[in-house]
Amino acid sequence: MHKPLHGIRILDFTRLYAGPFCTMLLGDLGADVVKVEPPGGDPLRAQGPPFHRGLSMSFLAANRNKRSIMLDLKTETDRRNARELALKADVVVENFRPGVIDRLGLGYADIAVDNPRLVYASISGMGADGPDSKAGAFDLTIQALGGFMSITGERNGAPVKLGTSVFDLVCGQYAMGAIVTALFERERSGRGQRLETSLFEAEIAFLVDAAMEYLLAGRVRGKWGSEHAALVPYKAFKTRDGWLVIGAGIQNLFEAFVAALGRPDLKDDPRFANGQARVEHREALYEMLDRAVAGFTTEELRARLDDAAVPCAPVNDIADVFKNRQALHRGMLQKIALKDGGELPVVGPAVKYSAFDVAEGWTAPPELGEHAEAIMREWLVS
């Protein structure tokens, strides 16, 4: 069974997280992704502990369905080999700092002159040009610079970063979507093009309603923890044995919530009679709700709220997620066969397709330079 990107050749000069995540998603869809690694390999291979079979968790998370070749782009011979591969590629993806790939003679203008159908994607920290384009960036610094740390964390608390390298991954998803779009456009025009994105731009795009709140109302959103600025009650509540998130800011849900708690009197209190009043008196309401919720176990209250059709969920840890019946049913845990007969558990695909099984045939992240001979033979000789 051929996947949609079967036959598409991706030459992947990326390392660390954003670029490799992008090209992994393309490999999931059937593209032949050739990962070009320097001597010593992608630095992400060694980021740890913990490690599994000598590889970091981050490398394993972003490099399935690829083949590896080691090229030292500081040498003329390997730069020439890289150029020959690029001339055979449908897509080149790179995440060097702006200008570096051009100095190596492997920039878009250098390659597209002889490969006009090439789709060439550049991923950077801050953007391909501009006054700060050369600045280094990690997901942590981007979360600070692009505003997310100012709206993440408890009210009046210290800035908090999100729990994974979210904007590396968001940027990789934007790049993946742009590459597929450019390949579709190539079918119409016959020509490729250059694409540019960055962690910084990806994060700003993800500010969504917080951005509009400032742009249209002039209001700078602050940190709300698990709460919502305009919906009350809506947050994580401490139960007798854990935490339960409850979203009951809409009027009918609020009334069902307080009835399930055994506090139907709260809906008749004029301070809490409607959404605006509850926002204005959130502290007084939460003081009473916190005390009532604390008398239940998580499962006791969850069962009551499920019966009352009030949205709620336990605050799962990662182990809970991969035991969750819905996650398992939807294939969010997959296993990749290893050459020695073992298996590598991996996160499943977020998107399912009716015409093909996106997880079929997935391969484990490659060893450094594992496929060099086959790549050179298949891409340059055949």
Instruction: Summarize pLDDT for 48-60 with one digit per residue, the tens.
Output: 899 998 899 999 9
Mean pLDDT confidence for 35-44: 95
| Residues designated as active site | 168
| Residue 91, helix vs strand vs coil | strand
Secondary-structure class of domain 234-315 per CATH: alpha beta
Whether 382 has a pLDDT exceeding 70, the answer reads: no
Residue intervals of the chain classified under CATH 3.40.50.10540 are: 9-206+336-381
d(CA 301, CA 306): 8
pLDDT at residue 40 in the model = 93
Name, in order, each residue with C-beta under 8 angstroms of 54's C-beta and a sequence gap of 6 or more: none
Whether 194 has a pLDDT exceeding 80, the answer reads: yes
Cα–Cα distances in angstroms (integers) from residue 372 to residues 24, 106, 378, 380, in the given order = 18, 19, 10, 12
Q: Which of 35-39, 114-118, 134-138 has the lowest mean pLDDT?
A: 134-138
d(CA 73, CA 36): 10
Whether 136 has a pLDDT exceeding 90, the answer reads: no
Mean pLDDT confidence for 12-37: 97
pLDDT at residue 381 in the model = 83
pLDDT at residue 355 in the model = 94
pLDDT at residue 316 in the model = 95
For the beta carbon of residue 67, count every other beta carbon within 10 angstroms. 19
Q: Are strands 234-238 and 67-70 parallel, antiparallel or unpaired?
A: unpaired
Whether 234 has a pLDDT exceeding 90, the answer reads: yes
Q: Tell me if the pTM is above 0.75.
A: yes
N-terminal to C-terminal alpha carbon distance within the chain: 23
Residue intervals of the chain classified under CATH 3.30.1540.10 are: 234-315
pLDDT at residue 1 in the model = 62
pLDDT at residue 2 in the model = 86
- Range 357-363, long-range pairs (CB < 8 A, 24+ positions): 357/1, 358/3, 358/28, 358/29, 359/28, 359/331, 359/334, 360/1, 362/28, 362/64, 362/65, 362/334, 362/336, 363/64, 363/65, 363/66, 363/336
CATH 3.30.2390.10 fits 9-206+336-381, yes or no: no
